[in-house]
Structure 1
Amino acid sequence: MTTDAPRGTTASRATDRPGDTSPFALGLLLRKAHWRVAAVMAEALRPLGIELRHFAVLIVLIDRGSTVQRDLAAATGSDKAGIMRIVDDLERKGLAVRKSVPGDRRARAVEITPQGVELFDAAHVAAEPLVERLVAELGPGEPERLKDLLTRLAYPVGGEE
């Protein structure tokens, strides 16, 4: 299938290289940045015996407290089977526990354990020097500016998506 650019315009084709001016450039850069940051975060978590998928669930549990599995799945972008495997892993490691939900015999809520909170805090300590290395090439104030811009992109005013 061929698609011609409208007459009088020059199509800018995505190249996935620095300086790409295509309409896909932002998404491609965000994807590459995500991969790089995810690798650094995985490096911080590896010695603690967990992966990013586990940490994502711990983040939700710290933020929301006891959370039913279906809501954990939605909050982390996991499917039902995936969230069950993650919670199984966390339970085996003593980082979370499942509890019955009063009034709903089928639902199970997940709670973080004191060991889970300790690991959560240790992960932040472990990540600090790695994040500093990650943003070392940015100038003064740029890491904060980048976080601000990404926050505004991820959470637009009015909740548009």
Structure 2
Amino acid sequence: MTADAPHPATTASRPSTTTASRATDRPGDTSPFALGLLLRQAHWRAAAVMSEALRPLGIELRHFAVLIVLVDRGPTVQRDLAAATGTDKAGIMRVVDDLERKGLAVRKSVPGDRRVRAVEITPQGIDLFDAAHAGAAPMAEGLVADLAPGEPEQLTDLLTRFAYPTDGKA
């Protein structure tokens, strides 16, 4: 075999470029990866806008994600916070440490298990949570400004059904 010739295993494992679409994140892409790439792009855009809305409040999206869970569920143990926010154990500890330093959340002992600590949002955390929503509202409207009347609600409905299928399949 020469240095210029591709290795046979490499050639055999490559899909044919005439039958397989190459994934891009350009509008109109029909590859099987297009939807995921488009959702990623939409997420990045929305996350950038919402991060900007949170910046004046001194928190990041990772902090706000935890506050959302605490408002929704009440006091929550750290392992459940990690699962709910898609954060690893070390990451959730850093976020909760930040929230505690800012006075937005506190750790409390769980009755019956001295090793487990539940995280609870403070009144200051609730105030910040409410302020974040008020500040983000105009920015959220800007995210969907190019959509026709009724389309923001339709987009929300479609994404909700996509993210939470009724048959429980991923």
TM-score normalized by structure 1? 0.95
Of all paired residues, the percent bearing the same amino acid is 81
Match of 2:58 among 46, 49, 57: 49
Question: What are the Cα deviations for residues 78-132 of structure 1, in whole angstroms up to 9, with x where unaligned?
Answer: 1111111000000000000000111111100000000000100100001000011
Match of 1:87 among 93, 96, 99: 96
- Choose 1 or 2 for highest CA Rg: 2
SS in 1 for 2:56: helix
Shift of 1:15: 2.1
| Alignment match, 2:40 | 31
5+ long unaligned stretches in structure 2: 1-9
AA matched with 2:158: L
Looking at structure 1, the residues matched to 73 and 159 of structure 2 have their Cα atoms a distance apart, in angstroms, of: 23
5+ long unaligned stretches in structure 1: none
Match of 1:4 among 12, 15, 20: 15
SS in 1 for 2:167: helix
Looking at structure 1, the residues matched to 142 and 40 of structure 2 have their Cα atoms a distance apart, in angstroms, of: 19
Q: CA RMSD in A?
A: 1.3
| Alignment match, 1:98 | 107
| Alignment match, 1:74 | 83
Looking at structure 1, the residues matched to 61 and 54 of structure 2 have their Cα atoms a distance apart, in angstroms, of: 7
Shift of 1:160: 1.1
Looking at structure 2, the residues matched to 141 and 4 of structure 1 have their Cα atoms a distance apart, in angstroms, of: 42
Moved over 2 A (4+): 1-6
CA contact (8 A) 2:62 2:95 kept: yes
TM-score normalized by structure 2? 0.90
Paired residues, number:
159
Looking at structure 1, the residues matched to 15 and 99 of structure 2 have their Cα atoms a distance apart, in angstroms, of: 52
SS in 1 for 2:119: strand
Matches within 5 A, 1:124-143: 124-143=133-152
Looking at structure 1, the residues matched to 100 and 15 of structure 2 have their Cα atoms a distance apart, in angstroms, of: 55
Shift of 1:54: 0.2
Shift of 1:16: 1.8
Looking at structure 1, the residues matched to 122 and 24 of structure 2 have their Cα atoms a distance apart, in angstroms, of: 46
